[in-house]
């Protein structure tokens, strides 16, 4: 039995070989799979459990028993106890973002560094929505294998774009039929921290060139990455994964200021208040000394 109680269902013929920066996608899937089992779940993501099960024993950092800490002051037992609750709050928050932008008329969506995100399958999209998922080829290949095994059917037009966000991903996106200049809802969930500040600036410049007037952008970012890295380090010792490859920091200024500098009108949201709005406790990462660091959720709209 895997941590979190998910049995391995290994239908792959070859070992799972991933770039170091991609393993975080399984952390997100595990958090969503665990949430899906709760009676009071904030969303339901049955495919997340399929991804975790398909990776079997090969998720390198999930070695400890994944149990939540019994009290706020108790150190977490495993990495999911440290970050799982934040992933759940973010997931619900960005689900609501897509409901809102679709209600405002958006029909073109791009999920940057989509990983094992299943919103194309689990959200109730209006007719005519085209959703592009961009991520590294290895992750999307694994994802497609599992989706095929599950005979999963998207609830919108879903277009997969295997591409590196440090390279010429806009051409790959356009080649797949992205409509340049059309109002677009972008999502970068767990994305900016995987890129350097320079790569993030370039990414946003490219998003700006592709976006139509009044496009939307939602993202999360913890700009004090230097604090988060020491917290994560113990979970990666002995796994062979380089945390430096996985966490590159992203923009060094708070993301709302970064977005405003690039021509977006941006609002920051406090993940602790968001958790309370969903009747959930303060996320473990934002207790005690880190309580004031909770402004990690952002929604923005193009000013032109």
Which parts of this chain interact with ligand SAM (CB under 6 A)? 21-22, 24-25, 28, 113-117, 135-136, 139, 164-166, 189-191, 194
C-beta of 242 vs 303, nearer to ligand SAM = 242
Provide the 10 A C-beta neighbour count for residue 54: 24
- Residue 107 CB, shortest distance to ligand SAM, in Å, is 21
- Name residues whose C-beta falls within 8 Å of residue 165's C-beta, 6 or more positions apart in sequence: 112, 113, 134, 191, 195, 199, 203
- Residue 136 CB, shortest distance to ligand SAM, in Å, is 5
- Name residues whose C-beta falls within 8 Å of residue 1's C-beta, 6 or more positions apart in sequence: 7
C-beta of 172 vs 260, nearer to ligand SAM = 172
CA atoms of 118 and 256, how far apart (whole Å):
26
C-beta of 209 vs 291, nearer to ligand SAM = 209
Structure tokens at 232: 């994560």
Helix (H) or strand (E) holding 112: strand 108-112
Question: Which residue in the shown chain puts its C-beta closest to ligand SAM?
Answer: 115
Q: Name the nearest CA neighbour of 199 among 225, 171, 165, 170.
A: 165
- Residue 31 CB, shortest distance to ligand SAM, in Å, is 9
- Residue 135 CB, shortest distance to ligand SAM, in Å, is 5
C-beta of 89 vs 139, nearer to ligand SAM = 139
C-beta of 20 vs 256, nearer to ligand SAM = 20
Give, in degrees to the nearest 5, the angle at Cα 235 between 234 and 238: 85
Pairing of strands 295-302, 216-220: antiparallel
- Residue 165 CB, shortest distance to ligand SAM, in Å, is 4
- Residue 180 CB, shortest distance to ligand SAM, in Å, is 20
C-beta of 48 vs 300, nearer to ligand SAM = 48
CA atoms of 193 and 246, how far apart (whole Å):
8
């Amino acid at each position: 039995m895997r941590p979190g109680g998910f049995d391995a269902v290994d239908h792959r013929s070859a070992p799972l070989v991933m770039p170091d920066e991609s393993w975080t996608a399984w952390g997100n899937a595990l958090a969503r799979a665990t949430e899906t089992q709760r009676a009071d779940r904030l969303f339901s993501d049955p495919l997340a459990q399929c991804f975790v099960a398909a990776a079997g024993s090969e998720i390198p950092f999930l070695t400890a028993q994944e149990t939540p800490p019994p009290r706020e002051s108790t150190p977490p037992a495993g990495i999911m106890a440290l970050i799982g609750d934040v992933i759940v709050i973010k997931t619900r928050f960005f689900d609501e973002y897509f409901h809102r932008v679709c209600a405002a008329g958006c029909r073109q969506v791009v999920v940057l560094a989509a990983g094992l995100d299943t919103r194309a399958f689990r959200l109730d999209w209006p007719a005519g929505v085209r959703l592009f998922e961009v991520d590294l080829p290895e992750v999307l290949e694994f994802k497609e294998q599992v989706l095929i095994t599950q005979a999963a059917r998207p609830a919108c037009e879903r277009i997969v774009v295997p591409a590196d966000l440090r390279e010429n991903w806009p051409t790959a996106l356009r080649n797949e039929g992205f409509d340049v200049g059309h109002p677009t809802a972008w999502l970068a969930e767990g994305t900016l921290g995987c890129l350097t500040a320079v790569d993030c600036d370039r990414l946003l410049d490219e998003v700006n060139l592709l976006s139509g007037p009044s496009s939307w952008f939602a993202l999360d970012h913890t700009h004090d990455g230097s604090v988060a890295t020491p917290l994560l380090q113990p979970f990666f010792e002995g796994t062979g994964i380089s945390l430096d490859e996985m966490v590159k920091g992203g923009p060094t200024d708070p993301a709302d200021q970064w977005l405003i500098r690039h021509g977006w009108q941006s609002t920051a949201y406090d993940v602790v208040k968001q958790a309370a709005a969903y009747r959930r406790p303060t996320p473990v990462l934002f207790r005690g000394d880190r309580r004031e660091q909770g402004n990690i959720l952002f929604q923005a709209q193009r000013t032109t």
